[in-house]
Amino acid sequence: MAEQKAAFIKVPTDLTNGFQTMPVEPSRRLPESDIRIELCTEHDATKIAEGLYLCFPDDWWAKKEPLELRPQENSNQIRIQRMAARLTPAITDPHHSFIKAVYVPTGETIGIAGWTLPSNPGVHNMFRRTAVEHYGWQEKMGWSDAELEEMWSHVSNETWSVQFGKDDETRREITEGKPHWYLAPLLTWPEWQGRGVGKRLMDWAIKQADAEEVSTPMYLESRPSARPVYMHLGFVPCGEYNMLRKGPAVVRGLEAEEESKTADVRVDVVAKGTEADVVG
């Protein structure tokens, strides 16, 4: 019987500005019946915000939310509250879908994925501050200018919105402005990493993309060392951090090349320091 090859996952590390990869051993994968994929609602906003702050390393957040800009008291709680508020309109927006992996035996959320749908008008990352105007969320939520300013008062515009804006330009060029699925973020709670949760969150969208007569393109950003993870799912590198998928075929030639570079290394840094790119 052919040896069963382990897929790759990413786990956070405090020692690098990103994440690491290691194989998911088949014996550690959760049974399919133990994971249920559900659409998130606005009631999940706080849980998603908590996951973002938990799964991304402190040095990543230090660039996005500099210490000198953060609230002096109850900083973590306030940052989570503000992030949850900013996420709420995206969660309920018809052109975005946040999904969660639920561990069936306990009902707890163990993973999150944020998908921008092919129906989205144009290319505009939902995490950018300008998304509020682009999608009409300020009016939808009834936010005052003062409330909006407070939500963003601890965030660096340059390393957050400006950088995401540059990434959007790259995405627009690579996708040629055509409808596509866009992944950001994808994360698994630390204690559940290496159990196949991230793969289930990816499959939710991949199955829909491939259900069309011609597969709908899918786009994400990731460090080069993580490419085998996504090549196995049909993604092709289109730049240093950019990957595009046009169908279900595994990119075996490129995958083999990338894996050969790390054949003797079980752990690699994989996440770009600007995008949500955590696979569990």
Buried b (16+ CB within 10 A) or exposed e, 145-166: eeebeebbebbbeebbbebbee
What pLDDT was estimated at residue 271?
32
- What pLDDT, in 10s, does the model give residues 100-139? 999 999 999 999 999 999 999 999 999 999 999 999 999 9
Residues 6+ apart with CB under 8 A from 188: 9, 55, 101, 110, 111, 195, 197, 198, 278, 279, 280
Give the N- to C-terminal CA distance of the chain in Å, as an integer.
27
Per-domain boundaries in the chain: 7-269
Strand order in the sheet with 7-12: 7-12, 19-24, 268-269
- The whole-angstrom separation of Cα 13 and Cα 250 is 29
Residues 6+ apart with CB under 8 A from 11: 19, 20, 22, 190, 193, 194, 280
- What pLDDT, in 10s, does the model give residues 217-256? 999 998 777 788 788 899 999 988 999 999 987 555 554 4
Q: Is the peptide bond before 185 cis (omega within 30 degrees of 0)?
A: yes
Q: Which two tokens stand for residue 180?
A: 């596509």
CB 134 within 8 A of CB 120: no
Helix (H, G, I), strand (E, B) or coil at 60: helix
- What pLDDT, in 10s, does the model give residues 18-38? 444 444 667 788 999 999 999
- What pLDDT, in 10s, does the model give residues 250-279? 555 554 454 444 433 222 223 333 333 433
Tell me which fold the domain 7-269 belongs to: Aminopeptidase (3.40.630)
- The whole-angstrom separation of Cα 267 and Cα 194 is 13
Q: Does residue 211 have a pLDDT over 60?
A: yes
User: What percent of the chain clears pLDDT 70, i.e. is strictly above it?
Assistant: 80
Q: How many residues does the chain have?
A: 280
Q: Which two tokens stand for residue 193?
A: 């990493």
